[in-house]
Structure 1
Amino acid sequence: MTKVIVSVLLLALLCCGIGYQQLQSALKMPLKVENSTLFKVERGTGFNQLCQAWQTKQWVDSCFKFQVLAKLDPTLTDLKAGLYELDTSAVIDNIRRINQGAQVSFSFTIIEGQPLRDVVANIQKQAHLSQDLDIENLATQISNTQENLEGWLFPDTYHYHSEDSASGLLKRAYNKMQQELDTAWQTRAPDLVLSSPYEALILASIIEKETGLASERPLISAVFTNRLKTNMRLQTDPTVIYGIGADFDGDIKRKDLTTYTPYNTYKIKGLPPTPIAMPSKAAILAAVNPPESEYVYFVAKGDGSHQFSKTLQEHNRAVKQYQLN
């Protein structure tokens, strides 16, 4: 009898040892996928469904070992829907990624100085993003308060997951611009010529389009501020180009400067009715805190920078030097 008991115990230990080795091998077993393989877990997918789908794709040889592991560790069966990037690490590690909801992340960038039409065109091309934009009523869809969304989307890189909505992403950009603009407005110069945060947004968008050099933004702001204070026209080409719209061929002509549009600052006084692009934080800060300066003119040097002048005579000399020659 003793021999029988010992034999049974030894057999049991042997089976346990074999089972333990099998489970250990299952824990280390790699998922047989190509690197960076995307896999979508649908809502309501169960553990067995997941494993069977992987077996069908020949990513795992058998589900039995993993089903046993799931019995021992029920947290493995808590699968979160989404799109996941699978790799050749252990099957269990890939399942843990799904347990944790660590979905693959995509990104969309709004570039400083982009007009609304370019932002919308680009977001409509984004992969794995639910395209739900109501183009005809975009301002209402995103903001609920603005009549025009131009200028209201903060330039930044926004991360999103599969099936997130385009409108949701733009709402995040809108909310961030509201926050940045409100914060900047609280730090505005006490004698600022601008009367509202929206006017600051308009001026910031013009500053953004006038120079690509961060160091010049304050002086550009000073020139426009001085012009607004003395009731001079802004006479800035980017507003003219914006007024022309999609018909602009890349070459601004004399007739463009003399043709009236609400954005032609050679014809109108003061600011145009809306922003003309998405301004950066630096451009907004420059708009609300222009430095003290006597400059009222500037001209492009041709190397990305500008020559600033205090008088028309100085400006005409600069134009002759940098433009006419």
Structure 2
Amino acid sequence: MLKVILSVAFLAIISTAIGYQQLQATLQSPLNISENTQFEVKKGTGFNKLCQQWQAKNWVESCWRYQVIAKLDPTLTDLKAGLYELSNTSVINNIKKINQGQQISFSFTIIEGQALRDVLVNIKNAPNLNNDLKLDELGKQIINEDTLLEGWLFPDTYHYQHNDTASSVLKRAAQTMQQTLSDAWQKRANNLPYSTAYEALIMASIIEKETALASERPLIASVFVNRLNTKMRLQTDPTVIYGLGENFDGDIKYKDLRNHTPYNTYRIDGLPPTPIAMPSKEAILAAVNPPQSDYVYFVAKGDGSHQFSTTLKQHNAAVKTYILNKKN
């Protein structure tokens, strides 16, 4: 009798050891793919269906061992829909990635000084993004206002996942811009020549387009503030270009400066009706807190920087130095 008991115990130990080895082998068994592969888990996909899909692709030999492991660890069956990047690590590790919702992250970037039309073209072509934008009522859709969305999208890189909506990305950009503008407006300087945060946003967009040098934004802002305070016209080319839209051929002509449009600041007083681009935080801060200066003119030097002047005589001399002499 004792021999029988010992034999049974020995067989049980052997079976347990074999079972443990098989379990370890299953836990370490890699997904049979040669390179990282994108795989979409559809909504409602269960553990058994997922394994069957992988078996059909010859990524796993069989499913029953993984089903046994799932019985031991039921959390593995809680799969989250989405797009995942699978690797040739263990099958279990790949399942855990899906279990934890570690989806592929995509990104969309709004560039400082970018116009709305360019943002919309880019987001339309963004990969794995559901384009749900309603172009005829974009303001209502994104910021709940019946207004042009120009200027209201904060320049930054926004991350999203497969099948997220374009509107959700733009809403995040708009919320960031609204908060940035609100914070800056609360700390604005006194005696600004504009009375609302929206007008400051318009000014910031002009500053953004006038210079690519962050260090010059405050001085550009001071020039425009000085002009508005002395009832001078802004006379800034970027607003003219914006008003021309698709008709702009890359070169501003004299007739363009004479053409009366709401954005031609050579012909209108004060600010244009809307922003002309997406301004950076630095441009907004410059618009609401410009430094004190006597500058009312500036001209491009040709190297990305500008020469600033306090009188028309100085400005004409700078134009001769940096513009006319270059043409001769």
Normalised TM-score (structure 2): 0.98
**Secondary structure of the corresponding residue to residue 83 of structure 1:** strand
**Secondary structure of the corresponding residue to residue 191 of structure 1:** coil
- What is the letter of the counterpart of residue 131 of structure 1? N
CA 117–34 in structure 1, closer or farther in 2 if over 3 Å, else same: farther
Q: Distance in 2 between matches of 1:288 and 1:144?
A: 25
Residue 207 of structure 2 is matched in structure 1 by 207
Residue 99 of structure 1 is matched in structure 2 by 99
Residue 6 of structure 1 is matched in structure 2 by 6
- What's the CA shift for 1:102? 1.0
Q: Distance in 2 between matches of 1:146 and 1:218?
A: 31
Residue 47 of structure 1 is matched in structure 2 by 47
Residue 137 of structure 2 is matched in structure 1 by 137
Q: Distance in 2 between matches of 1:190 and 1:25?
A: 73
Q: Distance in 1 between matches of 2:301 and 2:142?
A: 40
2:184 pairs with 1:184? yes
Q: Distance in 1 between matches of 2:237 and 2:75?
A: 62
Residue 316 of structure 2 is matched in structure 1 by 316
Q: Distance in 2 between matches of 1:192 and 1:270?
A: 13
- What's the CA shift for 1:36? 2.9
- What is the letter of the counterpart of residue 53 of structure 2? A
Residue 264 of structure 2 is matched in structure 1 by 264
Residue 222 of structure 2 is matched in structure 1 by 222
Gap runs ≥5 in structure 1: none
- What's the CA shift for 1:146? 4.2
Decide which moves more: 270-279 or 65-74: 65-74
Q: Distance in 2 between matches of 1:146 and 1:273?
A: 14
Residue 87 of structure 1 is matched in structure 2 by 87
Please tell me the root mean square deviation across aligned C-alpha atoms, in Å: 0.8
- What's the CA shift for 1:144? 1.2
Deviations 1:134-183 (A, max 9, x none): 11111111111241100000000000011100011111111110000000
- What's the CA shift for 1:65? 1.5
Normalised TM-score (structure 1): 0.98
- What's the CA shift for 1:34? 3.7
- Contact 2:137–2:146 (8 Å) recurs in 1: no
Decide which moves more: 168-177 or 210-219: 168-177
- What's the CA shift for 1:99? 0.9
Residue 292 of structure 1 is matched in structure 2 by 292
**Secondary structure of the corresponding residue to residue 12 of structure 1:** helix
Decide which moves more: 8-17 or 241-250: 8-17
- What's the CA shift for 1:198? 0.2
Q: How does 1:240-279 map to 2 (within 5 A)?
A: 240-279=240-279
Runs of 4+ in 1 over 4 A off after TM superposition: none
Residue 117 of structure 1 is matched in structure 2 by 117
Q: Distance in 2 between matches of 1:35 and 1:192?
A: 59
Deviations 1:283-315 (A, max 9, x none): 000000000000000000000000000000000
Percent identity between matched residues is 68
Gap runs ≥5 in structure 2: none
Decide which moves more: 49-58 or 33-42: 33-42
**Secondary structure of the corresponding residue to residue 158 of structure 2:** strand
- Paired residues in the alignment total 325
